[in-house]
């Protein structure tokens, strides 16, 4: 897992080239007026999903992981907490769905806080529970999916 702000992405230019392209896309794109939806960068190898949504309580959240993609979650507007836990030893709640590239787990997590301009990178070994906070608050987030 990586947590940082876009102002520091120069530190990550030696990562996998798809991750670098995805981070540069986040830095170079103004998402404030972009429509909600999916935006392909490199067909299904790198694509972005722009979402506006209300947060949920921690009790409503589920830990998730992906096997085919790395998630880069970038907060455009608002403040959001994301639960985090390492994958090792966690109990599966909902089996892996290949089409959605998602498996849900039961377990405890530590909360991290993202504010506008920050991003978190979640690898397959990183369980994450996005969208946690005050349900009265709306956020705008971009999730860039980067194929492994």
Helices (H), 1-148: 17-28
- Tokens 């897992």 correspond to 1
The reported pLDDT for the residue numbered 2 is 94
Q: What are the residue ranges spanned by the domains of the chain?
A: 2-147
Other beta carbons less than 10 A from residue 26's beta carbon: 19
pTM value > 0.95: no
Region of poorest pLDDT, from 50-54, 86-90, 134-138, 144-148: 86-90
Closest CA to 88 of 122, 120, 55, 125: 125
Region of poorest pLDDT, from 51-55, 86-90, 112-116, 118-122: 86-90
CATH class of 2-147: mainly beta
The reported pLDDT for the residue numbered 14 is 87
DSSP class of residue 1 equals -
As a whole number of angstroms, the distance between CA 134 and CA 25 comes to 29
Tens of pLDDT, residues 56-94: 999 999 999 999 999 999 999 999 999 999 998 899 999
Q: Considering the chain, what is the average pLDDT of its residues? A: 95
Contact (Cβ atoms closer than 8 angstroms) between residue 41 and residue 22 = yes
């Amino acid at each position: 897992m990586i947590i940082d702000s876009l102002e520091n992405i120069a530190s990550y230019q030696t990562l996998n080239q798809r991750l670098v392209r995805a981070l540069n896309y986040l830095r170079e794109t103004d998402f404030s007026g972009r429509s909600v939806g999916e935006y392909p960068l490199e067909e299904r190898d790198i694509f972005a999903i722009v979402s506006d949504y209300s947060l949920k309580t921690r009790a409503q959240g589920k830990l998730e992981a992906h096997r085919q993609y790395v998630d880069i979650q970038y907060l455009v507007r608002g403040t959001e907490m994301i639960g985090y836990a390492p994958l090792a030893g966690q109990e599966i709640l909902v089996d892996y769905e290949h089409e959605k590239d998602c498996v849900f787990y039961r377990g405890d997590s530590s909360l991290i806080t993202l504010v506008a301009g920050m991003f978190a990178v979640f690898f397959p070994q990183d369980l994450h529970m996005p969208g946690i906070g005050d349900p009265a608050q709306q956020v705008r987030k971009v999730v860039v999916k980067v194929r492994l």
